Amino acid sequence: MQKIFNTLIDSYIENKVGIAENFLSESLTSHLKENLASLYAENKLQPAGIGNETLARQNKSIRGDSIYWLDRKHNNEYENDFFDRVDSFVSYLNSTCYTGITGYEFHYTVYETGSFYRKHLDQFRNNDSRKYSMVMYLNTGWQSTDGGELCIHHGDNLQNISPVNGKMVFFKSSELEHEVLLTQKPRMSITGWLKVN
């Protein structure tokens, strides 16, 4: 895993966006996708909001995904394997880059066909605890015509990242505006934030 962690960190240092293939193994990705599909079929996902706490609101013209928060309390074998992988990455990040990460939060995300998320920053205006954003994709056989790219804004330059199975993307939550482009078929991921107290 150290090689994958170094790939993420090196690409982040080079371009402010860390990208690594196979951060999650093919097997773990498959099991997490099955979990998400089951939760979706059981109507356990909730429409995602904009903002936090008392400022949270829903607006499908800005954000059209649905989410389900992951938690070790679910005692799901594959979610806990995922958290173990994140713990290893956080430990490596703290020891090599002195980031001071003390916690995190993650949710499953589904964008149904025809949905998107307009340009935004991940760090809240009234809470700066989110330091790094992480997205891990659960989409097998994704084609360029399927849309749904993560579009990261580097000033006037745009970086489009296809949501290919097993890929992980990592960037600073307060720095880079980004959006999810219109998706032409259901798009699945795990999205979250590394945080400090």
* Series of mean pLDDT values for 10-residue runs along the chain (197 residues): 94 96 94 97 89 60 94 96 97 96 97 96 81 96 96 96 96 95 98 95
Edge-to-edge strand list for the sheet holding 157-161: 117-120, 178-180, 150-154, 157-161
pLDDT of residue 117: 95
* CB 46 within 8 Å of CB 67: yes
pLDDT score, position 60: 75
| Residues shown for the chain | 197
**Spatial contact of 189 and 137, defined as CB atoms under 8 Å apart:** yes
C-beta atoms surrounding 178 within 10 Å? 22
Instruction: Give the pLDDT confidence score for residue 56 in this predicted structure.
Output: 53
What is the reported pLDDT for 187?
98
The H or E element containing residue 169 is strand 168-172
Tokens matching residue 107: 């949710």
Phi, psi dihedrals of residue 161, rounded to the nearest 5°: -120, 120
* Token reading at 27: 């097997």
Domains, the chain, ranges and CATH? Answer: 2-49+63-195 (2.60.120.620)
Residue-level pLDDT at 128 = 83
Give pLDDT, residue 61: 84
Residue 177: per-residue pLDDT: 95
CA angle 81, 75, 190 (to 5 degrees): 50
Taking alpha carbons only, the member of 63, 85, 83, 62 closest to residue 74 is: 83
Which helix (H) or strand (E) segment holds residue 90: the answer is helix 77-97
**Whole-number Å distance between alpha carbons of 123 and 67:** 18
| pLDDT attached to residue 70 | 97
